[in-house]
Amino acid sequence: MAILSFSMTTKEFLSGNKTVTRRVWADSYHEMWERMWETDRLIHDAYNNIPRAGGKKIGEIKLIDRPYKERLSDMPQEDLLAEGGMCKTLNEYIEFIGKEPNDTVSVIRFIKIS
């Protein structure tokens, strides 16, 4: 089991509005998540911050799609809501996470199960 920290979007996660997350990960870390998908390890812990910074478990997620990589500029419009709905435009979202449109991120789609 792995964890995902929702430090910037705890409220959106807890409300159930957040069903996808985009992360800037090393290739090896992304590949670990792909292997978990391939080996049917789909349930993971959700934290409000990383544990070493005092984060606490706030729920569990279940992966619903194989993790994949995507350029931020290719993010579908409907994912603004799936990301929690705190941003109205793609540019606003990209600014919110502090990245550039051509940056590549890992996309994790999930359902909140607890």
Domain range list for the chain:
3-112
Q: For 25-43, how does the pLDDT look when each residue is reduced to its tens digit (9 = 90+)?
A: 999 999 999 999 999 999 9
For domain 3-112, the CATH class is alpha beta
Q: How far apart are CA 105 and CA 87, in angstroms?
A: 18
pLDDT band at 1 (very low <50, low <70, confident <90, very high): confident
Is-contact 93 29, C-beta < 8 A? no
pTM equals 0.95
Q: How far apart are CA 5 and CA 9, in angstroms?
A: 9
Reported residue count of the chain is 114
Q: How far apart are CA 46 and CA 16, in angstroms?
A: 12
What's the first-to-final CA gap in the chain, in angstroms?
Answer: 15
